[in-house]
Structure 1
């Protein structure tokens, strides 16, 4: 029985998150010139973080797609194939059955931009950074005041660093990835980002 898209996304994201955590731990030991000692507590916290945040991001992507659909209906130009037809590699011959439809599906670039801006530049960046700092602080046993300090001190630095990776990744995902596969793609892109977050977490 095939797994549902959200379960598949969660499992894949968990695997990638765990792998990136191990890479980050090894990298930190190598850079410090010390023997590698596996930090199972940090590994467990990142696994829990992935399990909690992946469903939130999955439904966030669903909401974005519903609110800002990436495709819109437009009048069909005589003799022209739709962009979606071209992407699928479909060809049409003169002796094929004529398509009487007067409309086609085309990309809504304005909606794509709004999705990209909301997910990568504003709300999505704030949501994920806040979840990271709050959940990691909670699992490390920090007080509410300490977590609040981390939010005030570290949030904007992390968001600024995220702009070095996520704008391009988010543009590709919102433009070319089906919404149910978007978290999978972003999880692969997040391999490097999660290494960065692991290194940040060791300094909090």
Structure 2
């Protein structure tokens, strides 16, 4: 039995987020001419962010599509030609309909523009704040754990897996500090996203019809974006 689309999308995005954190660490190691020893904490944090952020984003995309459908039914060329040739012959036009040639899906440009604008304004603002608050919050909540280096990566993973709830202490988080950090980096992250995500939105809304397909493309595009965010978070 296949998992519900929202569950499959969440798992898929979490895995891609974790991979982006690994790639970011690999890039950093190569830039600094150091051996690559992946630290589990950033991987764990980005994986957890994928699990938390994907469901509301999936529902947001579903809302946009149901409110502003990408395609609407429009007469086919055959149907228009048939109607023009026989304006009073309804039987001929009915024959076109029965043959499935009277209408075809056509891109609704107004709805596509509306979705893209909403996604890159309302959606982008909420996602930027969600990312900043989550990452600064979880980094503060896990500050009690020394990030393992060198050959201690396996031990770090063992610690996380053996005590996943104790790994994150949200009681240690100063949310006022988290909010100030989120505000400080908000415009930088938002404008950086505007140089990347509008193109992804256009591809999604123009060429893809299902929320699942759009989420897959968004996740793959997010691999590169996740590397950028992971590098920024590691500074």
Q: What TM-score do the two structures reach when normalised by structure 1? A: 0.84
Aligned to 1:179: 211
Instruction: Say yes or no: does 1:35 pair with 2:35.
Output: yes
Alpha-carbon distance, 1:66 to partner: 1.2
Aligned to 2:186: 155
Aligned to 1:166: 197
**Contact 2:97/2:103 (8 A) holds in 1:** no
Aligned to 1:99: 97
Query: Structure 1 CA distance, aligned partners of 2:3 and 2:20?
Result: 24
Query: Structure 2 CA distance, aligned partners of 1:135 and 1:110?
Result: 34
Give the aligned length.
187
Q: How does 1:131-142 map to 2 (within 5 A)?
A: 131-141=130-140, 142=173
Task: State the SS of the aligned residue for 2:96.
Answer: coil
**Contact 2:79/2:103 (8 A) holds in 1:** no
Q: How does 1:191-202 map to 2 (within 5 A)?
A: 191-202=223-234
Q: How does 1:36-51 map to 2 (within 5 A)?
A: 36-51=36-51
Instruction: Say yes or no: does 1:127 pair with 2:126.
Output: yes
Instruction: Say yes or no: does 1:72 pair with 2:72.
Output: yes
Query: Structure 2 CA distance, aligned partners of 1:77 and 1:185?
Result: 30
Query: Structure 2 CA distance, aligned partners of 1:65 and 1:189?
Result: 20
Task: State the SS of the aligned residue for 1:99.
Answer: helix
Alpha-carbon distance, 1:136 to partner: 0.9
Alpha-carbon distance, 1:32 to partner: 2.2
Query: Structure 2 CA distance, aligned partners of 1:34 and 1:146?
Result: 33
| Per-residue CA distance 1:169-201 (angstroms, 9 max, x = gap) | 111111222123211110001110000010111
Query: Structure 2 CA distance, aligned partners of 1:39 and 1:78?
Result: 59
**Contact 1:125/1:159 (8 A) holds in 2:** yes
Query: Structure 2 CA distance, aligned partners of 1:104 and 1:181?
Result: 21
Alpha-carbon distance, 1:67 to partner: 1.5
> Which segment is superposed worse, 17-26 or 139-148?
139-148
Q: What TM-score do the two structures reach when normalised by structure 2? A: 0.73
Aligned to 1:188: 220
> Which segment is superposed worse, 26-35 or 51-60?
26-35
| Per-residue CA distance 1:4-48 (angstroms, 9 max, x = gap) | 211211121112111111000111122123333322111111110
Task: State the SS of the aligned residue for 1:122.
Answer: helix
| Per-residue CA distance 1:63-118 (angstroms, 9 max, x = gap) | 111111112244x255159xxxxxxxxxxxxxxx6325765432110110110111
Task: State the SS of the aligned residue for 2:106.
Answer: strand
Aligned to 1:90: none
Task: Extract unaligned runs of 5+ from structure 1.
Answer: 82-96
